[in-house]
Amino acid sequence: MRSTAQNISISLVASVTSDDGDKIMSYKVEPLPNSVADLGEAPHWDIATQNLYYVDIVNGKLLRYDYNENKVYHCKIENVSVVGFVVPVEGEANQFVVGAERDISIVEWDGFSETCKVVKVLAQVEQGDEIYDGNRFNDGKCDPRGRLYAGTMRYFEITSSSAEENSTSTMEEAWKLSRITLESLMA
């Protein structure tokens, strides 16, 4: 999400067909202002607040782009060096489900402060199997029913990685983490 060039913009043209015939709409894509992310990922658009939430993976930060203010706010999660995803908790102001290192946690952030903190750990990456010792949570999103789907991957400094070492899990209301396997998808 961060660009080294300051004045880059990209114009895209899309053609949309309607009952009235073809309409041409043009879109302009621009970098966010002062997006202090070194590795920005996992965007989540909150339509109600007109905010775009995303993470700076390598710096353990949550970011919030306020569309109405055209401004980016960010916080460093206390005692977290790597963060994979952020999803606002429905009905809970200032609370977010976050993939923070080897944990899925609830983080509290007012959207303005430069620091935020983990208030509850909900689950941890695969436990009890040394093949997963080098894993961290990476991407995660919720489906329309509110179930979180999150994937793991090796930490950056570990050079080998195979499909067997990575995984995808789902979490429902009871905060029970269930691993998704190819076999469970076929059932």
With H, G, I as helix, E, B as strand and everything else as coil, classify residue 93.
coil
Residue type for position 133: D
| Cα distance between residue 11 and residue 26, in whole Å | 7
Establish whether 138 is an annotated binding residue. yes
Rounded to 5°, the CA angle 161-162-164 comes to 130
* C-alpha pair distances (Å), 166 with each of 74, 111, 120, 127, 146: 29, 32, 24, 13, 23
**Residue recorded with tokens 């991407």:** 139
Quote the CA–CA distance of 108 and 65 in Å, as a whole number: 17
Sheet holding 103-108, edge to edge: 40-46, 51-56, 61-66, 71-77, 115-124, 103-108, 95-100, 83-88
Of the candidates 171, 169, 187, which has an alpha carbon nearest to the alpha carbon of residue 179? 169
> Is 64 labelled as part of a ligand binding site?
no
Which residue ranges are tagged as binding site? 41, 136, 138, 157
Which residue ranges are tagged as binding site for a divalent metal cation? 41
Which residue ranges are tagged as binding site for substrate? 136, 138, 157
